[in-house]
Amino acid sequence: MSPVVAAIRKDLLLQWRTRAQVLAIFVFGASALLLFSFAIGPDAEALRLHAAGFLWLALLLSSTLTLAESFQSEMEQRAFEGLLLLPASPRALYYGKAIANWLQLTLVGAGLVPFMVVLYDAGTTRLLGLAGILVLGAAGLSAPGTLYAAMTAQARARQTLLPLLLFPLVVPVLLSAVKATSLLILGDPMGQLRPWTLLLACFDLIHWALCGLLFDRVVED
Amino acid sequence: MAVDSVAVEASGLCRRYGRRWALVDVSLRVPLATVVMVTGRNGSGKSTLLRVLATAIRADRGGARVLGYDCRTQRDAVRRSVALLGHYSYLYEALTPLDNLAIAARFLWPRGGGPSPRALLEEVGLADRADDPVSTFSAGMRKRLSLARTLLQDAPVVLLDEPYGQLDPPGFRLVDGLLGRLKQSGRTVLMATHLLERGSAICDQAVVLEQGRLVWSGPAAQVPEASSAALPAGAPR
Amino acid sequence: MESAVDPRPTPAEGSIPYLLIGLGLALLLWGSGWGLFVAPQESYMGDVQRIMYVHVPTAWNAMLALTFAFACAMVSLLRGGWKWDARLEAAMEVGVTLAVLLCIQGSLWAKPTWGVWWDWDPRLTTTAVMVFAFAAILALRRFVDDPVRRAAWSAVAAIIAFADVPIVYFSVRWWNSLHQLQSSPETVSRAFHWPLRINAFGVLFLMSGLIALRARVAELRLRDELGPPLPLPAAAQGGL
């Protein structure tokens, strides 16, 4: 069994056993969507126009919870160090954790979509396209997010540091995902979906490679 | 590969935490198949020494070798040769003992093999709790599980940091038995402990640390006298 | 990282940084004076356009500082060495300061020109994002006590942040392209080149001097952190 597969199994098992947390994170995201709608007011036009933005903001905020939690169980009894000492490759452990976070973020995002549809009157028939954007966007949040979660889990003031470090970096994800989702909801007469999707994919490729490469400097002395 | 019959050797190890030096100029040589007791007061650097040897942390100065592998440059080889029972249990609280052992086993033996997790749980007396999450365990049970995890690694060099900690009298006997078996199978063991009587009964050699320095070494049976004579740092020898 | 080969950094002592700062300030005074009072007024934008004489040099040098930070991060990660960590810290601080100045200059230009304080110009918006990214790394440094870890983590974070710059730029440019034309005080005709160049070198020298000095401060701090003396006395070696 390859170490990456072993790591993925471990992280999926951990997520499954603590699945109540995912529910809590989803509720957090949903309440964020609700609060955003209050900020706009009961203006159906405006709500529909900005629905995509709020969906991704809610997911971004939820991601800080997901990412921080993902290293909680690793650090409380230093289980992560225990694995490193077996030895287990830091890179494998990174990809396992990043993939598990990716899955969780995609699920939370998928759960928030019906909420968005109802609250913001922002539905779309292009469900496959929406799923694709969700998957790509979640991947973009997960790659750097997992690296920084590992870092800040070992530092002081971790609650503030993670969003501080992550948010500027994922601006391209936010822009592309919001734009693409908006096009799916409001219509795409000029066929702009593709370049945004490509930008997202580009971001994902670069960061999944780069963060995996750099991860062992983050967790090893 | 062991170049000679030395299992562990350290020279001039220093390690600092902030401005405080936890290890100062520690040098030692541990022959193969020896059981060594590492003792000293709280804060004397016992845990730090074991962690440096296990490559959990780096040394700020000096170097160490385990079975001939350099701790700084051949870290993975050292890690394959060493099993550490540390201060932290290395367990996932949300998972069961079987899960925890199975996860470690998959990294240790990617193609299968290795000691059976169930058998190890039997050995440490946790067979009836094999499917309960670790978060429901007492401190003593967690210690037993950590012991099982250490044994799972089947390593030639075993580092134990306070193995008797949190255990009840049956637990003490368990550790005694495990130590005996490790000794019989020719492993090299370094055990940090406060329990001088117990330690000197089982161990061959002993070293005493005091404020990060190695102040005494010799046969384990002679430790009780020596550690009361161990001089505080600053006094002339 | 600490070894007999490279134990603690020893900061340089010369006065070259001070000379650079002095030279830089002198050039800035000359270039700015020329640009503000002597150079002809720009036909479309009027006097407001004069901010370009500091805006463009600041932009070039901010990018230069952060690129230098990236280079220091690479060397620090691949080769190690405390000097490079010190330079990384210095370059990031100076780079962030210049980037903040850039954003302020951009606002000062945007308000009279477009009537809004922020016009979402792609370059400026990217700069703003970079301010936050690198400021976060500077914050990270404050919360990590172990120098070896701090050096490794800041280098990793700086590399990722820098790698992100082109992606951020492109995404903002596409995002903005549907709403507005490119707008920045950059259209320069030949009459305006000289004060610009003088100021560019002025900021360059000033910045280099400041980075060098700040790196010295960082090295002194590292020296103090890395070098608490070993306690006495020397103990007998252990042998079994």
Higher model confidence: residue C65 or residue C116? C65
Answer yes or no: is C61 within a domain: yes
The verdict on C5 touching B (C-beta cutoff 8 Å) is no
Mutate to test the interface with A, among C120, C156, C159, C165 (most CBs of A within 10 A): C156
| Residues from chain A contacting residue C175 (CB–CB below 8 Å) | 175, 179
**ipTM, 2 decimals?**
0.93
pLDDT digits (tens, 9 = 90+) for B104-163: 999 999 988 889 999 999 999 999 999 999 999 999 999 999 999 999 999 999 999 999
Chains that touch C (3 or more CB pairs under 8 A): A, B
| Phi, psi angles (nearest 5°) of residue A154 | -100, 0
Answer yes or no: is C4 within a domain: no
Distance from the Cα of C167 to chain A's closest Cα (Å) equals: 7
Answer yes or no: is C69 within a domain: yes
pLDDT (0 to 100) of residue C239: 43
CB within 8 Å of chain B, chain C residues 60-79: none
| Phi, psi angles (nearest 5°) of residue B6 | -100, 125
pLDDT (0 to 100) of residue C144: 92
CB within 8 Å of chain C, chain A residues 168-197: 168-169, 171-172, 175-176, 179, 195-196
pLDDT digits (tens, 9 = 90+) for C140-194: 999 999 999 999 999 999 999 999 999 999 888 888 775 555 545 555 555 678 8
pLDDT (0 to 100) of residue C217: 94
Q: Along the 221 residues of chain A, how does pLDDT read in single tens digits?
A: 799 999 999 999 999 999 999 999 999 999 999 999 998 888 889 999 999 999 999 999 999 999 999 999 999 999 999 999 999 999 999 999 999 999 999 999 999 999 999 999 888 888 999 999 999 999 999 999 999 999 999 988 778 999 999 999 999 999 999 999 999 999 888 888 999 999 999 999 999 999 999 999 999 97
Answer yes or no: is C187 within a domain: no
Contact C120, C103 (CB under 8 A): no
**Residue C240 pLDDT exceeds 50:** no
- Which residues, other chains included, contact B220 with Cβ-Cβ below 8 Å and sequence gap of 6+? B35, B36, B37, B199, B200, B202, B203, B204, B205, B206
Note whether C234 contacts B25, CB cutoff 8 Å: yes
Distance from the Cα of C216 to chain A's closest Cα (Å) equals: 25
Answer yes or no: is C73 within a domain: yes
Smallest CA-to-CA distance from B189 within B96, B85, B70, B75 is with: B85
Note whether C167 contacts A195, CB cutoff 8 Å: no
The verdict on C228 touching B (C-beta cutoff 8 Å) is yes
Number of domains in chain C: 1
Q: What is the mean pLDDT of residues C40-55?
A: 77
Tokens of A64: 């800080």
The verdict on C168 touching A (C-beta cutoff 8 Å) is yes
Q: Provide the number of CB pairs (under 8 Å) joining chain B to chain C.
A: 57
The count of other CB atoms within 10 Å of the CB of residue A44 is 10
What's the mean pLDDT when you consider all of chain C? 85
Strands of the B35-40 sheet, one edge to the other: B82-85, B157-161, B188-192, B35-40, B205-210, B213-219
Distance from the Cα of C76 to chain B's closest Cα (Å) equals: 18
pLDDT (0 to 100) of residue C139: 95
Give whole-number Cα distances, B125 to B76, C84, C90, C190, in Å: 31, 53, 57, 86
Domain hosting residue C74, numbered range:
16-38+47-179+194-224
Contact B215, B236 (CB under 8 A): no
CA–chain centroid gap for A113, Å, is 14
| Helix (H), strand (E), coil (C) string for B99-154 | HHHHHHHHHHCCCCCCCCHHHHHHHCCCHHHCCCCHHHCCHHHHHHHHHHHHHHCC
CA–chain centroid gap for A101, Å, is 7
| Domain residue limits, chain A | 3-219
Q: What is the mean pLDDT of residues C95-124?
A: 90
Answer yes or no: is C215 within a domain: yes
Helix (H, G, I), strand (E, B) or coil at C239: coil
| Residues from chain C contacting residue A179 (CB–CB below 8 Å) | 174-175
Tokens of A150: 């590992």
Tokens of B6: 């030395």
Global pTM reads 0.92
Strands of the B69-70 sheet, one edge to the other: B20-31, B6-17, B61-66, B69-70
